[in-house]
Amino acid sequence: MTKSPNPPGYMVRDRARHPKALTPSYKTSVVRSPERAMIAFPTSIGENTGPVFGHEMIGPNDNDLVINWAEPGQMALGPRIIVRGRVLDEHGNGVAGALLEFWQANAGGRYRHKKESYLAPLDPNFGGYGRTITDENGGYEFRTVQPGPYPWPNGMNDWRPAHIHFSLFGHAFAQRLITQMYFDGDPMIWQCPIVDTIDSKEAINSLVATLDMSQALPMDARVYTFDLVLRGQRQTFFENRWEGL
């Protein structure tokens, strides 16, 4: 397989550290995985330096999933949480101005999607998606409700653990990342066929957010912390998909 040239200023992705694209126990990987060897193309200046996002593209409630879909005076149902952390480069430095997009199921484990087949009810005041821009230190924060687990048609009785999806753009397309975050102490993490595609327990633990009750808001919300690394040997895992350059 041909490796992509390393964009100027960015470490090479450690492809061998990430899950194999083809993992038959995760059935949809069979049709999603490449059938032929990848072909690498040199990156252009635009791919190495863009895109650039500004705070003016973020609405006032984009990072508050509790109310950003709700009717006036209403809120989403479920255990309220705050997720915060930092977006880091391969050297451990904060990445300022990175765009984070996040989406999830509601507290009952159901997505607001036209092809959703789970019988759990929709929450009329929960859309399940939002976005934010990192601050000057790479910090981010959003408020939401803790998503529920849900069944999926992979095996006879396979369930996904509670999780939140993340899509990140750093300083360039070379720092593109799509991943998922799980919750501290959830026993279903270790029963998930998707998680099982990752060989390293240390790597799986890097996808688990830490509960930090010292930062919890009394009578309001618990706080989970979750840092993300965009490239290099410490890069956050893609979970069975070789996204990015």
Structure tokens at 223: 């706080």
Question: Is 163 among the catalytic positions?
Answer: yes
In a domain, 216, yes or no: yes
Q: Which of 160, 182, 224, 231 is catalytic?
A: 160
Q: What percent of the chain has pLDDT over 70?
A: 89
Q: Which of 26, 140, 150, 224 is catalytic?
A: 150
Residue 178 phi/psi, 5-degree rounding, is -125, 125
pLDDT in tens, 14-31: 666 667 778 888 888 888
In a domain, 98, yes or no: yes
Domain that residue 212 falls in: 15-229
User: C-alpha 153: how far from its chain's center?
Assistant: 22
In a domain, 237, yes or no: no
Whole-angstrom Cα distance, residue 213 to residue 210?
10
Q: Which of 84, 165, 176, 222 is catalytic?
A: 165
Q: Which residues of the chain have pLDDT under 70?
A: 1-9, 11-18, 233, 238-245
Report the pLDDT value the prediction gives residue 245, as an integer from 0 to 100. 37
Q: Which of 163, 171, 182, 224 is catalytic?
A: 163
Question: Is 165 among the catalytic positions?
Answer: yes
Which alpha helices (H) appear in 5-155, and where do they start and end? 28-32, 45-49
In a domain, 1, yes or no: no
Report the pLDDT value the prediction gives residue 53, as an integer from 0 to 100. 80
Q: What is the CATH number of the domain that holds 165?
A: 2.60.130.10
pLDDT in tens, 72-114: 999 999 999 999 999 998 889 999 999 999 999 999 999 999 8
> Residue 54: exposed, middle, or buried by beta-carbon count in 10 A (0-12, 13-18, 19+)?
exposed
In a domain, 72, yes or no: yes
Q: Which of 10, 26, 111, 140 is catalytic?
A: 111
Question: Is residue 83 helix, strand or coil?
Answer: strand
Report the pLDDT value the prediction gives residue 244, as an integer from 0 to 100. 42
In a domain, 244, yes or no: no
Angstrom CA distances, 84 to 6, 24, 106, 213, 222, stand at 30, 34, 19, 13, 11
Domain count, the chain: 1
**Would you say 173 and 47 are in contact if contact means Cβ atoms under 8 Å apart?**
yes
Report the pLDDT value the prediction gives residue 122, as an integer from 0 to 100. 96
Question: Is 36 among the catalytic positions?
Answer: no
Residue with the two structure tokens 């929960």: 126
